[in-house]
């Protein structure tokens, strides 16, 4: 039973990887900072790490806070059937959307499917409308917050690096600040939680008690200094005009502008952070139902808030995401990376910084938000700063329509599949 459900969760994660992870890497491929093959490799590693190291909070929220589990306390098997229906419904819709190149939201799909089966199983009162309202508000705010951060960050980069007459000199001056910003965001949000097991190990095994932020600060300082040194070394210290000429005439580079080519190295790191952020948040969409089913099968009771997600379930989700991206992610990458505005590494870097910041904050608070919301909002925010006429609003309309219809379609699929599954279960 659990093995079959795990395969089903892997199938959902597969489709999630083909769709949502493609969103996460689209800006990097669109700006030519990385090739499609490099994007698949980066996402494969970082998505997996994000899911396993930082994905528990969102998974717990989806498993216990969309539907009121106490209403199923006397019939845990009904909740089990419902969660199986959620997996089937989400997998079907994500596969349809991905085949058409539509960057839909897997968060919309899983929340809609859970609400749909719950309303059929135990009435509309079974849906935790308070939690659903909080999540819906987070969905609305995600593109706004991400767009504002991207627009602000790109304005700074444009004003102080891209527009001055000596941009290479300006880039040298700003490298420490870019490094500190890039790694500081990741360090403040993620490292305290990830380094907590190290703190516990040092205290238990060696009796070493460190202040709560010492390890994250040390890691961040070392990484920032390393990135700054490497970037300075790559820029060199020769005559700027000669360096500029030789860079432009480099036939081996896909990015002929020397400033954009150097900023592409920073975008490579920001792409890693987006992949980690996506794995930390959206893995819950695939494995939360599996976690609830596993808990019911193991204990005979329904899960409650705060229950722990076994590591093997996180591994199933991470592996499925990576496999789906590798096999079927190319279509959606083109939509995000090329279909909204023309991207350069400078703009793609700012979009990814904004996306990673927004998604990691949501993951820290256990909110299942949408990476596609954040990334599209960030790209649009940059487009409005560059030239609002360059924004392809027809592509945006298609994406927004896909977001909107995902909720009722997944809710309907979850409800219909649940009714069929429950009837088959009772007749068996």
3-state SS, 384-425, equals HHHHHHHCCHHHHHHHHHHHHHHHHHHHHHHHHHHHHHHHHH
Residue 398 to residue 382: CA distance in whole angstroms:
19
In eight-state DSSP terms, residue 365 is T
- Residue positions counted in the chain: 428
Sequence ranges of the domains in the chain? 2-162+274-427
Q: How confident is the model at residue 244 (pLDDT cuts 50, 70, 90)?
A: very low
Within 10 Å of residue 203's Cβ, how many Cβ atoms?
12
Q: Which of 147, 141, 140, 89 is CA-nearest to residue 118?
A: 89
Residue 83 to residue 290: CA distance in whole angstroms:
7
Supply the pLDDT for residue 88. 92
Q: How confident is the model at residue 420 (pLDDT cuts 50, 70, 90)?
A: very high
Contact 125, 89 (CB under 8 A): no
Q: What is the pLDDT of residues 334-391, one digit of tens each?
A: 555 555 666 788 888 888 889 888 988 888 788 888 877 888 889 889 888 887 777 7
To 5 degrees, how large is the angle CA 32–CA 12–CA 281? Answer: 60
Q: What is the dihedral of CA 136, 141, 147, 149, to 10 degrees?
A: -130
Supply the pLDDT for residue 148. 95
Give the position of tokens 């490292």.
191
- The answer for 164, left when phi > 0, alpha when psi is -120 to 50, beta otherwise, is beta
To 5 degrees, how large is the angle CA 139–CA 286–CA 363? Answer: 45
Residues 314-341 have a mean pLDDT of 70
State percent of the chain over pLDDT 90: 11
Quickly count helices (H) and strands (E) in the chain: 18, 0
Q: Which of 294, 280, 318 is CA-nearest to residue 83?
A: 294
Give the position of tokens 């279960």.
425
Supply the pLDDT for residue 99. 77
Tokens of 113: 């499917």
Q: How far apart are the first and last CA of the chain?
A: 15
Residues 265-290 have a mean pLDDT of 80
Supply the pLDDT for residue 34. 73
Residue 259 to residue 289: CA distance in whole angstroms:
46
Q: Which residues pair with 127 in a beta bridge?
A: 67
SS3 23: helix
Residues 321-328 have a mean pLDDT of 77
The number of C-alpha atoms within 13 Å of 198 and in the hemisphere containing its C-beta is: 14
Residue 206 to residue 202: CA distance in whole angstroms:
5
Q: What is the pLDDT of residues 115-143, one digit of tens each?
A: 999 989 888 888 888 888 888 888 889 99
SS3 207: coil
Contact 192, 186 (CB under 8 A): no
For every residue of 293-319, DSSP letters joined together read: HHHHHHHSS---TTPPPPHHHHHHHHH
Give the position of tokens 């998505």.
47
Residues 6+ apart with CB under 8 A from 202: 208, 209, 210
Largest CA distance in the chain: 81
Residue 152 to residue 156: CA distance in whole angstroms:
7
Average pLDDT, the chain: 76
Q: What is the pLDDT of residues 24-76, one digit of tens each?
A: 666 677 667 777 777 777 777 887 777 777 777 777 778 777 887 778 888 88
Q: Which of 67, 72, 34 is CA-nearest to residue 288?
A: 67
Contact 3, 316 (CB under 8 A): no
Residues 388-414 have a mean pLDDT of 82
Q: What is the pLDDT of residues 144-161, one digit of tens each?
A: 999 999 999 999 999 888
Residue 351 to residue 363: CA distance in whole angstroms:
18
Q: Which residues pair with 398 in a beta bridge?
A: none
Tokens of 81: 């059937």
């Amino acid at each position: 039973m659990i093995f079959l459900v795990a395969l089903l969760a892997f199938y959902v994660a597969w489709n999630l990887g083909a769709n949502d992870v493609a969103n996460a890497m689209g800006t990097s491929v669109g700006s030519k900072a990385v090739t499609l093959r490099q994007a698949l490799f980066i996402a494969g590693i970082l998505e997996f790490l994000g899911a396993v190291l930082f994905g528990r909070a969102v998974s717990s929220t989806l498993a216990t806070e969309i539907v009121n589990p106490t209403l199923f306390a006397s019939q845990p098997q009904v909740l089990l059937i419902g969660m199986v229906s959620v997996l089937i419904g989400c997998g079907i819709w994500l596969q349809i959307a991905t085949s058409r190149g539509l960057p839909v939201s897997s968060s919309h799909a899983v929340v809609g499917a859970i609400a749909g089966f719950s309303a059929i199983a135990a009435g509309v009162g079974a849906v935790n409308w308070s939690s659903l309202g909080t999540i819906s508000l987070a969905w609305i705010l995600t593109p706004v917050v991400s767009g504002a951060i991207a627009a602000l960050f790109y304005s700074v980069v444009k004003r102080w690096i891209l527009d001055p007459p000596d941009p290479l000199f300006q880039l040298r001056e700003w490298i420490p600040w870019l490094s500190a910003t890039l790694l500081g965001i990741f360090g403040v949000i993620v490292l305290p939680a990830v380094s907590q097991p190290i703190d516990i190990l040092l205290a238990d095994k060696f009796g070493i008690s460190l202040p709560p932020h010492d390890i994250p600060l040390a890691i961040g300082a070392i990484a920032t200094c390393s990135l700054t040194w490497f970037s300075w070394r790559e820029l060199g210290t020769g005559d700027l005009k000669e360096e500029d000429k030789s860079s432009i005439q480099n036939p081996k580079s896909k990015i002929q502008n020397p400033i954009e080519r150097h900023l592409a190295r920073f975008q490579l790191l920001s792409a890693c952070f987006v992949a980690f952020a996506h794995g930390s948040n959206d893995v819950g969409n695939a494995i939360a139902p599996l976690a609830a089913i596993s808990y019911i099968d193991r204990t005979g009771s329904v899960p409650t808030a705060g229950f722990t997600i076994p590591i093997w379930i996180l591994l199933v989700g991470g592996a499925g995401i990576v496999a789906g991206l590798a096999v079927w992610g190319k279509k959606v990458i083109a939509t995000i990376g090329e279909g909204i505005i023309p991207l350069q590494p400078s703009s793609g870097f700012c979009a990814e910084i904004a996306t990673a910041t927004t998604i990691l904050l949501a993951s820290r608070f256990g909110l299942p938000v949408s990476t596609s919301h954040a990334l599209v909002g960030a790209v649009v925010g940059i487009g409005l700063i560059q030239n609002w006429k360059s924004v392809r609003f027809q592509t945006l309309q298609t994406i927004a329509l896909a977001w909107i219809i995902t909720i009722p379609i997944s809710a309907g699929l979850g409800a219909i599949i649940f009714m069929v599954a429950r009837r088959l279960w009772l007749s068996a």
